[in-house]
Amino acid sequence: MRTLEIAVVAMDAVVLLLTVFRLPPRWWQVASKVSSMRRWLRAEPVLLVGLLLPLLAHLVIERHRFVMIPAYVVTVALACVLLTRWFRRARRTADAPRRGRPALRVLGRITAMMSGALALAVSSAAGFLLPVFKLPTPTGPYAVGYTEEHLTDSSRQEWTTPDEDDLREVEFSIWYPTEATAQGKPLALDRRLAKSTAMNGDDVFGTARARGALENSLDHFRLIDTHAVHGGEIVQVPGGFPVIFYSPALRAGRFDNTSLMVDLASQGYVVVAVDHPYTSGAPVSLSSGRQVDRDPGEPSATEAGQRESWLERAARWTATNSADLSFILDHLTALNADPGSPFHHRLNLDSVGAMGFSLGGASAEQALADDPRFDAGVNMDGTHFGTVRDTGVPVPSLNILSTDHVADISKARKGEQTQDEGSIEDARFQEQFHDRSTGPTWAVTIENTNHVSHDLFSFISPALTGNTVQPQTEETIRALVSDFFNHTLRGQEPRLLGHDSAVPRKVHFLPDPARPDVQ
């Protein structure tokens, strides 16, 4: 929780106690020895000032957010009670008798205390679990500009829907280097990230109402600076900037690694993050006006008898997402050649990388195998779905694995996890992919990480994910990814590849990427 949010909740709690127990107003008069001030030091006006000042400061300086609504309600209710008492006392003598029914008064006080305490507890817990976080500052020399586009591929039918007239559509964001003096609206964390996060919450809580509540609880994203601006002219350098594509995880979205995208752009890369309809979690807006998210035909990944169907579906997703990346690369090629485009001669399309998280990592690898224009790729903790598990890739690849992922694969290969089909398959796919890749491959782990350490979800709720040192993890991922692409796309000598180090989290390169249990 932020400082003034804590002040609001703490003052609410103090005033709630004093109001419920009805401390006599003479206590306040005795505290002042100046008789002329006794009139103004009654309990009610003093408590009102103490109650409302933190709230007003919070609303002006920190700005409101959804999870604080229960505390706001308590503040307003207490203010109404204090005003009512103040006016009543002004109209009667101090010795006026109180009305009867003491039992009802006691019951009312207990109810008020419990209701107020519950509301404050809800705001406190939600504020702790969903903090207003700061994204790390970009490490490169460039400021960062942003734009986004929507395209329809008239050559591909949308296979996930029964309508034969549906064509494949994609939405994507572009982060690019710009001058520090570039004029543009500061870019906050996109609201669509809240939608994709809420979709995963819907899977946990099981109701659409919970999904809506979680999405509203993330309204503070509008307060989080991404260190980029909307618009701004892309810098022109000889030969143009290398291009890196990003594909998100299943039911995630193109904004789930915004910090990494901005950092790469600040280092002189043009970064294209894609939302793939029916696998991305943030609803993709189609040209028809419809918004779509998950694949309506997705089978269960865990139910008995459906695992093979799910793997087949995942392979088809990765193939489709790979084609999305190639389609957008065609579009960028046209923009680079168009004198009327802001990207005219700004892109180095001889140096193109692909990366992704989870399913997006598999999609990026599939693009490396499908399209020779992609020169290198990073898979962040993704299983090797698609044909690449059988063919490998012909270009350099980096696999960033969570320590949980490596442990699961190792146990499966040793026969210690016979009930976990996913880990058994993952172990086999890992071995096949690295054994059959003809390009150099690296596999690395970052200490004490799990699957969601590789995107912004750990910033969104460190307490729920167990990633309380996420800024250091993010810095480490940034360092590994930029070192890999600086080496493979720019020809620089690697600083980190193949070497265990602390940057700042400890990283360990696996001696045999195909067999994580061989240390």
Tokens (6 digits) for 391: 């063919």
First to last CA, the chain: 42
Tokens (6 digits) for 11: 């003052």
Least confident of 116-120, 413-417, 440-444: 413-417
Tokens (6 digits) for 516: 């994580």
Judged against a pLDDT cut of 80, whether residue 42 lies above it is answered with: no
pLDDT digits (tens, 9 = 90+) for 147-162: 999 999 999 998 888 8
Residue ranges covered by each domain of the chain: 3-91+100-129, 143-509
**Rounded-to-integer distance, Cα 434 and Cα 423, Å:** 16
The pLDDT > 70 percentage for the chain reads 85
- In 3D space, the residue among 331, 434, 428, 337 whose CA is nearest the CA of residue 379 turns out to be 434
Q: Which of 38-47, 114-123, 209-218 has the highest mean pLDDT?
A: 114-123
Helical (H) or strand (E) element with 328? helix 307-337
Strands 291-292 and 284-285, by their bridges, are: antiparallel
Query: Does 143-509 carry CATH code 3.30.2130.30?
Result: no
State the Rg of the chain over Cα.
28
Distance from chain centroid for Cα 136: 13
pLDDT of residue 482: 96
pLDDT digits (tens, 9 = 90+) for 503-516: 888 898 887 776 66
pLDDT digits (tens, 9 = 90+) for 381-390: 988 888 998 8
Judged against a pLDDT cut of 70, whether residue 96 lies above it is answered with: no
Judged against a pLDDT cut of 90, whether residue 425 lies above it is answered with: no
pLDDT of residue 422: 62
Judged against a pLDDT cut of 60, whether residue 418 lies above it is answered with: no
pLDDT band at 319 (very low <50, low <70, confident <90, very high): very high
Mean pLDDT of 322-333: 98
pLDDT band at 354 (very low <50, low <70, confident <90, very high): very high
pLDDT band at 180 (very low <50, low <70, confident <90, very high): confident
pLDDT of residue 64: 95
pLDDT band at 366 (very low <50, low <70, confident <90, very high): very high
